[in-house]
Structure 1
Amino acid sequence: MAAKDPDTAAEFRRNESWLFDTTAGAYVRKTAVSLLTLVVFAFVLFPLYWMVVTAFKTTAEIQQIPPTVFPNDFSLEGFRLVVESSIQAGGYTSLFANLFGWQASSAIDIDILSLVLNSLKVAIGAGAIALVFGTAASYVLSRRDFAGKNALMSIFLASLMFPGTAIMVPEWELVSALGLFNTHLVLIFIYGAMTAPFVVWLMKGFFDDFPDSIIEASRIDQCSSIETFWYVIVPMARNSLIASFIFAFLLAWNELVFALTLLDNSRYTVPPGLLTFVQGFNTQWNVVAAASIIISLPVLLGLAYIQRYFVQGLTGGAIKG
């Protein structure tokens, strides 16, 4: 191997990067990355931390200036008021009084259990609609060639770029014409339609990479296209299907504008229901925080259990097998 030209070596030494080519520079880079990660981590998690500590403060401590970082007087007042409100609004006051001798009395009249059940009904229904129609459409778009296929995929992608509020007026007119105002069914249809394009793009990536040999083997076994799809492909697409369902579920669970506009108080889902706890200058923020924690726990536990399927599903169509 020929020796490096002296002039070239000298030029390299003059332009050598201290930050990237020395041990001290490596420590500086790692320290900077660690500090930046810590700042981002704190920025993301601090609102969650503040919600939790607020839930365990008294109303008087919440109003202190400057605010306390940790609760001085650990209190379950917010949780007690939320539970009493749910018991009273749900009509279980006499039942709890007879069974436990607990006379629930609250100035807040909001049923948390009803909000959760309403949101579960809407979110599961919207997720099912998006999954069924989005998966079927993505399979056709992946395995069939027809005129306008690329244009249709572009339309699906473009639909994800528009905010839902942009179509609020025509949606209102359509809902009024169909007589679906103040029904959970209309939210299921709207949320399902809003998330179906994402399901199409996610599942199409999986179907594009699906081995043709498996489909050909099913045809040799005399399976029809529908049987191949249902009995062969769908079981193997479990992780991607779960990821798609979770995305649709979370969008429906967290959406506020449509639920606030198209429902009244008796049929509220979680987001507008939590908003009713905010009562101008008399808002009890420990109650709002406690209600948010109680409502979030079931979803967080469920997502923690199935998070591995979500990650695997999102990356399932990213690598050629």
Structure 2
Amino acid sequence: MKTSFFKRAIFFVIPLAILLIFTLFPFVWTFLTSIKPQKELFTSTLHYLPLQPTLGNYVELFSHMKFVHNLANSLLVAIVTSICSLAVSLLAAYAFSRYNFPGKFAVMISFLLINMFPSVLLLIPLYSIMRQIGLLYTPWALIIAYSTFTIPFSVWLLTGYLNDLPISLEEAAMVDGCNRRQGFIRILLPLTVPGIIATGIYIFITAWNEFVFAVMFTNEGNRTLPVALQSFIGEFDIQWGLLSAGGIVTTLPILLMFMFVQKKLVEGLTAGAVKG
């Protein structure tokens, strides 16, 4: 019994604890930095814990900066991108999963090839297009730009998930009087919820964290959070207190999202891994 316990501790518990500490330390250090007063950020002696904890950085962040406006812009772009990309991807994935048509394989391969190239290659063409159609420096410029590289990968994810759902479910519904649209909405869509959640989180995180397109396609009036955080890094100094406080606030929506949909997310990511 003791031998089994020591083996488990040596080969599982201890390595897992080390990995957990290594992973969480940057986040803990960022939080501790965010509650330190300015005078404790630049000292000759290193103090891991703040001697005089304060929320002054958070107060300054929300009271004297445009951070709330930047937060609202990021939420708007991420939410609308997620909704639009999911709607298009789900319908496209259903078509690829349930219909056979000429060029189906070639289109799926083209979606895969799109994800093999860096998205930054689309920067100049999309910038030119947005300027010509008058959407530059508006939230729609980011929403459309993000959809160009979230939809192809989302189609792949949802197509694989739908392929694991037997077509006999829809056929049984149509025998009972449903048409194909009703069978999709009433039968298939509820079963696809875990896959939709997993795909939606991928899209949301991509739109929430993206920086390069946000720098090029926004101006002072509609900056998103990643660009706003970059403004705390000046040419001659870095506002570490505000930067760390902004980093903590930026990670909170993602953290809360994972907490509430963790079970569905795991179901969506592992769907199809085990065949019955």
* The two structures share one fold, judged by TM-score above 0.5: yes
Q: Does 1:275 align with 2:254?
A: no
Measure how far apart 1:182 and its partner are: 0.0
- Give the distance between the partners of 1:37 and 1:212, measured in 2 at CA: 42
Measure how far apart 1:259 and its partner are: 0.5
**Of 132, 150, 158, the match for 1:177:** 132
The aligned counterpart of 1:244 is 199
The aligned counterpart of 2:35 is 56
Measure how far apart 1:34 and its partner are: 4.0
Q: Does 1:255 align with 2:210?
A: yes
Answer yes or no: is the 8 Å Cα contact 1:59–1:284 preserved in 2.
Answer: no
TM-aligned CA distance change 1:28 to 1:214, over 3 Å: closer
The aligned counterpart of 1:67 is 46
Say which SS state the counterpart of residue 267 (structure 1) adopts.
coil
Q: Which amino acid aligns with 1:265?
A: E
% same residue: 32
Map 1:1-321 to 2 at 5 A: 27=6, 31-85=10-64, 110-321=65-276
Say which SS state the counterpart of residue 221 (structure 2) adopts.
helix
Q: Which amino acid aligns with 2:63?
A: E
- Give the distance between the partners of 1:250 and 1:52, measured in 2 at CA: 21
- Give the distance between the partners of 1:316 and 1:66, measured in 2 at CA: 51
Measure how far apart 1:24 and its partner are: 7.1
Measure how far apart 1:27 and its partner are: 4.8
Q: Which amino acid aligns with 1:220?
A: V
Answer yes or no: is the 8 Å Cα contact 1:243–1:309 preserved in 2.
Answer: yes
The gaps in structure 1 that reach 5 residues or longer are: 1-22, 86-109
Query: Larger relative CO (CA 8 A, sep 6+): 1 or 2?
Result: 2
- Larger Rg over CA atoms: 1
Answer yes or no: is the 8 Å Cα contact 1:134–1:197 preserved in 2.
Answer: yes
Greater Cα offset, 64-73 or 43-52: 64-73
Greater Cα offset, 155-164 or 28-37: 28-37
Measure how far apart 1:160 and its partner are: 1.6
Say which SS state the counterpart of residue 281 (structure 1) adopts.
coil
For each residue in 1:156-214, what CA deviation from the matched residue of structure 2 results, as whole angstroms up to 9, or x when unmatched? Answer: 12222222112211111211221211010011111122111222121112211212221
Measure how far apart 1:123 and its partner are: 0.6
The gaps in structure 2 that reach 5 residues or longer are: none
Say which SS state the counterpart of residue 199 (structure 1) adopts.
helix
Measure how far apart 1:294 and its partner are: 2.7
Answer yes or no: is the 8 Å Cα contact 2:62–2:68 preserved in 1.
Answer: no
- Give the distance between the partners of 2:246 and 2:3, measured in 1 at CA: 50
Answer yes or no: is the 8 Å Cα contact 1:112–1:295 preserved in 2.
Answer: no
Count residues in correspondence.
275
Say which SS state the counterpart of residue 48 (structure 2) adopts.
coil
Greater Cα offset, 149-158 or 130-139: 149-158
Q: Cα RMSD (Å) of the superposition?
A: 2.1
Measure how far apart 1:38 and its partner are: 3.2
Greater Cα offset, 223-232 or 130-139: 223-232
- Give the distance between the partners of 2:130 and 2:108, measured in 1 at CA: 27
- Give the distance between the partners of 2:201 and 2:110, measured in 1 at CA: 23
Q: Which amino acid aligns with 2:85?
A: A
For each residue in 1:203-251, what CA deviation from the matched residue of structure 2 results, as whole angstroms up to 9, or x when unmatched? Answer: 1122112122211112112322222222221122111111111110111
Answer yes or no: is the 8 Å Cα contact 1:56–1:71 preserved in 2.
Answer: yes
TM-score scaled by length of structure 2: 0.91
- Give the distance between the partners of 1:84 and 1:218, measured in 2 at CA: 56
